[in-house]
Chain A
């Protein structure tokens, strides 16, 4: 078999594929963070908590009302997004005029509360969410077995990422949102309802996190800790991509997923720090991030 650095090519291809799956999650989560930061200036530390809530809502809907995966994929983001809107209305709204640090503290507190609540409700061991029958089974790619569900995750992620990018960068609505960030007062003078736009933006960002949560529910154990470890990595992804850059989040999410995958073969012990090493390098060499504007 052909080898690179003493590792069979098939193994490397397999790891890149898996990296792409993980990168899809990073991309979707960092996308939501970027949208919220880019358009509102809020550093949303509760993003991991909303991700966990998304998975948790899907689990509860299945257990108590028999709502299947496909409906959960739609309902859970809507429901958690609505919770996001309530939080924006009641809490975040009062912080826009203050230093971004206050938003960070508030959302961090919220994240701890949600985590504690979920721990209380389902305990530390977590629970299993079944893979939907239409997506169970696996493809044989020759160099590896790829479960159909993981391929589905990549597909959904690419579609969602492209759609979000398109809406924000290429539509009139997106232009209005970006204008609201540049000069809210002027936009309001033109008769636009800026507070409504901001509220909807936060709701959409939260819904993206919840969607990622539902997508991950069949792969990992649904438990209270699932968001807290992920959110730190996702923040690093956002910083590497450039704070607030939509394209940067998507591209760096996917690339970092693959870099992490390769690290898992070359030096597994470092696999959970490699993203932060890259972040440090990027901050030294290009402080605004790969896609950020100075």
Chain B
């Protein structure tokens, strides 16, 4: 065969393959799982490409197919913009036969995605966002808040610090939906336990310098520095607090910290910090086995979001298999009556408002001396039962009335 013939033959084959693609994907002989997350911005290490990998791990562990259909994964970068997240979800629902939607970081973007998923009747699992409004004012019958929420974070970390004697609180709050919800949740816990909220300063997202805000916190005279922020903002504020000697007088409370934040900070700076998490790589043999598979690929330990992505995908696929259909109403009914048991959650369950109730772990960051091997960063202070962590149903969600 001459070179030219060979080329044209290849092109013809490629064209034929390409033109076959839509017919094949529109046939509905596959189950489509979509993940919309921050893949390139400040939250990309919490979920991001690592999250997609754990979805694929879950599919592989499930056997690669369900009800005889192939399982496909779609992913998109929402760039922390609600309009991009919502329109991608709509596009997948309309054109790609989306069956399950996973939401990564950013509460604002996820509220927009939840609305689309609710309208299109697509089971939607919130993995990365913290805002408890997703199962309250912004709830839908198809939403599941799977990993953690601001209520659980506050109940975990704030309670632990109050019990350790930190009674007066001053907050450094990220000036957007997540930060203010987190501060409100923590303030409630502080007051309920006899503590006092002294004040707060709202810091613009991604501020370049936190020292000014920290000096204000210091002059408040509060015992606890409540950090109602996340990611890079958390690490930069902790670094500065350390540098200015503020951590000597005030106890810092990271209301949301991921293992990659601790890794960035280093134990020298982060030691002693309390935080609340749904998953830690070094909890038991199951989590270690899972994390080793992840580590081999990414050279870092998975975050709680990445653990959550894995578990949520498995949970959904098990429900589909159990009801023998991808019908959203049947799947949601099955999801809300079955207990969840895997390496991520023990005896977890999805209650009426969509919260996945499971144990949360109050952790403390180890000192450099206590850390024995790479990524040995945290120890469990308390295992908090799901009911205690997530609290009762509030009644703010229209179809899930509070229990009298």
Contacts and interface: CB of A to CB of B under 8 A. Distances in A.
Interface of A: 8, 10-11, 14-15, 18-19, 21-22, 119, 123-128, 131, 138, 144-145, 147, 149-150, 219-221, 223, 225, 229-230, 233, 261, 264-265, 268-269, 271-272
A269 B175 contact: yes
Interface string B247-286: 0000000000000110111100100000000000000000
B204 A220 contact: no
B202 A225 contact: no
For the complex of A and B, 4 pairs with smallest distance between CB atoms: A264-B212, A124-B44, A272-B204, A125-B45
Given A149-B243, A220-B208, 18 more contacts: A10-B219, A11-B215, A18-B211, A21-B209, A123-B45, A124-B43, A124-B231, A125-B45, A125-B260, A138-B245, A144-B215, A147-B245, A219-B209, A220-B236, A220-B239, A264-B212, A264-B216, A272-B204
B383 interface: no
B42 interface: yes
Nearest to B175: A269
Contact of B204 (A10, A14, A225, A271): A271
A13 to B, nearest CB: 10
B232 interface: yes
B213 interface: yes
B28 interface: no
B232 A271 contact: no
Interface string B196-216: 000001111011110111011
B48 interface: yes
B264 A125 contact: yes
Interface string B212-245: 1101100100000000000110011001100111
Contacts of A220: 208-209, 236, 239
Given A125-B232, A131-B243, A138-B245, A271 B261 contact: no
A271 B216 CA distance: 14
Contact of B261 (A125, A229, A261): A125
A230 B208 contact: yes
Interface residues of B, number: 38
Contact of A123 (B44, B219, B240, B265): B44
Given A144-B215, A149-B243, A269-B175, A124 B235 contact: no
15 contacts: A8-B219, A18-B209, A119-B40, A119-B44, A124-B41, A124-B231, A126-B264, A128-B264, A128-B265, A147-B243, A149-B243, A268-B204, A268-B213, A268-B216, A269-B175
Contacts of B239: 128, 219-221
Given A119-B40, A219-B240, A125 B215 contact: no
Given A138-B245, A147-B243, A229 B212 contact: no
Given A123-B45, A128-B264, A128-B269, A14 B207 contact: no
A265 B212 contact: yes
A268 B45 contact: no
A219 B243 contact: yes
Contact of B232 (A225, A233, A268): A225
Contact of B212 (A18, A219, A223): A18
Contact of B42 (A19, A147, A225, A268): A225
B109 to A, nearest CB: 16
Nearest to A228: B206
A224 B298 CA distance: 19
A11 B201 CA distance: 15
B231 to A, nearest CB: 8
Given A229-B206, A268-B201, A272-B207, A221 B232 contact: yes
A266 to B, nearest CB: 11
A124 B48 contact: yes
Contact of B206 (A8, A10, A225): A225
A221 B235 contact: yes
A145 B207 contact: no
Contacts of B260: 123, 125
Nearest to A140: B245
Q: Which of A11, A14, A268 has the most CB of B within 10 A?
A: A268
B235 A145 contact: no
Contact of A15 (B42, B212, B235, B245): B212
A26 B201 CA distance: 24
Q: Which of A19, A127, A220 has the most CB of B within 10 A?
A: A220
A25 to B, nearest CB: 9
Contacts of B231: 124-125
A145 B245 CA distance: 8
Contacts of B203: 268
A272 B207 CA distance: 7
Contacts of A22: 208-209
A8 B215 CA distance: 12
Interface string B35-55: 000001111110010000000
Nearest to A136: B243
B212 A128 contact: no
Given A229-B206, A269-B202, A124 B42 contact: yes
A117 to B, nearest CB: 12
A19 B48 CA distance: 36
Contacts of B206: 225, 229
Nearest to B39: A124
Nearest to B42: A124
Nearest to B209: A22
Nearest to A222: B264
Contacts of B263: 125
B257 to A, nearest CB: 11
A22 B210 CA distance: 11
A22 B215 CA distance: 15
B235 to A, nearest CB: 5
Contacts of A19: 212
Contact of A264 (B213, B240, B243): B213
